[in-house]
């Protein structure tokens, strides 16, 4: 279960939609796992592991929820103080959070519910503009991939280079050209990089990770769409990578 922690991170992010009301519900987690794009073998391993550690699983999320409650209370107390400058997220009063200096490292306090709500709304507006080009959607027709932050573009491309064994950043694929925020567009010379070879390398990585290639790859004769974990970590969400063969 070496990747169990990233799985919990993805689960936590998935629960922002419901304001974390069912976060500690073990049946909610198991139902979520069942709908994930994982092999049956991996799903069963996770289900067995959680069932064998039900008390610890419940305690984990009670601690998480307790920390979130205390954190939000601290943020609320700080935001009710009288100041000369006020911050807003969209039209809603309040900022992205606070950073507290500590000898052991800075501590960032973020109002997760409020920030995630506004971030989802912005993402949905962006997704509406790119609906026709989106290859990965859930059962409701909503985008599974997300807008990628500029600072995450190069680390994600470098990770893709490590699993494809390709040089993806060169004179023809600069960071500026690759990133259009909603997708990562990579242009490849079909004479230098066979489409089938790239499909094989991507599929090998997915199978080694107990993931189903059909859930992560959409392809035709001139293009491969890949649902890529941002910076190689599912906990960061997914971005659609378009490999264009010219």
Residue 45 CA to residue 42 CA, distance in Å, equals 5
With 60 as the cut, is the pLDDT of residue 177 above it? no
Q: Residue 60: which pLDDT band, with cuts at 50, 70 and 90?
A: very high
The pLDDT assigned to 129 comes to 40
User: What residue spans define the domains of the chain?
Assistant: 4-115, 150-245
Pick the closest to residue 146 from 158, 134, 162, 160 (CA basis): 134
Q: How many CA atoms lie within 13 A of 31 on its CB side?
A: 9
Contacts of 59 (CB under 8 A, 6+ apart): none
Q: Which CATH number fits domain 150-245: 3.30.70, 3.10.100, 3.30.460, 1.20.144?
A: 3.30.460
Beta pairing, strands 92-93 & 88-89: antiparallel
Instruction: Return the minimum-mean-pLDDT range out of 88-92, 94-98, 184-188, 193-197.
Output: 88-92
CB atoms within 10 A of CB 196: 9
- pLDDT tens column, 15-45: 876 778 889 899 999 999 988 877 788 889 9
Q: What is the pTM of this model?
A: 0.55
């Amino acid at each position: 279960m070496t990747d169990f922690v990233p799985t919990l991170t993805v689960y936590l992010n998935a629960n922002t939609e419901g304001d974390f009301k069912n976060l500690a519900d073990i049946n909610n987690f198991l139902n979520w796992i069942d709908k994930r794009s994982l092999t049956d073998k991996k799903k069963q391993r996770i289900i067995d592991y959680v069932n064998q550690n039900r008390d610890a699983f419940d305690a984990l999320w009670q601690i998480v929820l307790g920390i979130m409650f205390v954190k939000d209370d601290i943020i609320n107390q700080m935001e009710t103080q009288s100041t000369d400058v006020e911050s807003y997220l969209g039209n809603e009063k309040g900022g992205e959070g606070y950073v507290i200096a500590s000898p052991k490292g800075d501590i960032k306090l973020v109002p997760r519910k409020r920030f995630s709500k506004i971030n989802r709304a912005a993402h949905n507006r962006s997704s509406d503009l790119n609906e026709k080009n989106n290859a990965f959607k859930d059962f409701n027709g909503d985008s599974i991939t997300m807008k990628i932050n500029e600072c995450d573009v190069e680390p994600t491309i470098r990770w893709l280079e490590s699993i494809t064994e390709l040089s993806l950043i060169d004179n023809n694929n600069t960071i500026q050209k690759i990133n259009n925020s909603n997708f990562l567009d990579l242009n490849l010379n079909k004479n230098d990089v066979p489409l089938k070879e790239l499909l094989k390398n991507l599929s090998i990585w997915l199978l080694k990770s107990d993931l189903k290639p059909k859930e992560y790859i959409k392809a035709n004769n001139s293009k491969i769409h890949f649902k890529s974990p941002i910076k190689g970590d599912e906990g960061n969400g997914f971005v659609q990578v378009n490999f264009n063969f010219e």
